[in-house]
Structure 1
């Protein structure tokens, strides 16, 4: 089981951060390992929406579909793989520090069956490293837009 939680402070109002992060169309812009995101259901994002992602992690090409399990605009987004080699739940949470600063938390939990148990400690370290890069990228994008 992998459980990786990372957060960052972004100098932007919570609404701007949450709207950008919760839009799957932006995922390839700020996720280091995500190459594409394709809607499987109609927009806008809501519970039960499905988005297909193509990514690359630890030298493997991954294709998976996330289904939205919980969505509270401006507060929380929970999505879970509907299929794929890497059963995973990803949670975004946004917290307003003040009117112009937001704390964004990114958490990944799952049991990657496509990888051996021996790889779990390395996977956690690599996921944490990737998540930090992702959050630094979204911070850079939002603070400079």
Structure 2
């Protein structure tokens, strides 16, 4: 059984700002609760062909995997695939302006678990949906808060 989880959120920031922050894998440990670290295998900034090693915790397990960027349309779409890791997974971010000051960001994870993981795919999808919702809410809080030293907001 395939896993295909789509989550979205409206962030009260311009599309270019949301995309620039979220598309930088170095920021992932800041807004993803389960990602412990990201180490670049190729030089930054992110581009098609970029590879990064991620370490995460999911369903009580430590996971180490390598993402490769397979598609990048700056400010609109980023697609990464696990090149090496526990099971084939693709993560897609999209950003769409709702208006000049608001952005709809979508996060999609899909893959085809194999072996024992295949039997737990429904539970894995539900856990992923919960985690993705929390992570997007973290990103929203992070990007919508006033900059340090500001006198009361944007």
The question of 1:9 aligning with 2:4 is answered no
* Partner residue, 2:83: 82
Alpha-carbon distance, 1:117 to partner = 2.6
- Contact (CA 8 Å) 1:54, 1:61: kept in 2 or not? yes
Cα distance in 1, alignment partners of residues 117 and 85 from structure 2: 16
The count of aligned residue pairs is: 145
* Partner residue, 1:20: 21
* Partner residue, 1:117: 118
Alpha-carbon distance, 1:118 to partner = 2.5
- Contact (CA 8 Å) 1:85, 1:114: kept in 2 or not? no
- What SS class does the counterpart of residue 116 from structure 1 fall into? helix
After TM superposition, the score normalised by the length of structure 2 is 0.91
Alpha-carbon distance, 1:115 to partner = 4.3
Equivalent positions of 1:1-145 (< 5 A) are 1-113=2-114, 115-144=116-145, 145=147
Superposition RMSD on alpha carbons, in Å? 1.0
Alpha-carbon distance, 1:44 to partner = 1.3
Cα distance in 1, alignment partners of residues 96 and 74 from structure 2: 12
Q: Say which one has the larger Rg.
A: 2
Using a 3 Å threshold, how does the CA distance of structure 1 residues 115 and 74 change in structure 2: closer, same or farther?
farther
Gaps of 5+ in 1: none
Cα distance in 1, alignment partners of residues 49 and 3 from structure 2: 24
- What SS class does the counterpart of residue 137 from structure 1 fall into? helix
After TM superposition, the score normalised by the length of structure 1 is 0.97
Cα distance in 2, alignment partners of residues 119 and 37 from structure 1: 26
Q: Which one is further off, 20-29 or 109-118?
A: 109-118
Alpha-carbon distance, 1:120 to partner = 1.1
- Contact (CA 8 Å) 1:86, 1:114: kept in 2 or not? no
- Contact (CA 8 Å) 1:85, 1:113: kept in 2 or not? no
- Contact (CA 8 Å) 2:112, 2:118: kept in 1 or not? no
Using a 3 Å threshold, how does the CA distance of structure 1 residues 115 and 128 change in structure 2: closer, same or farther?
farther
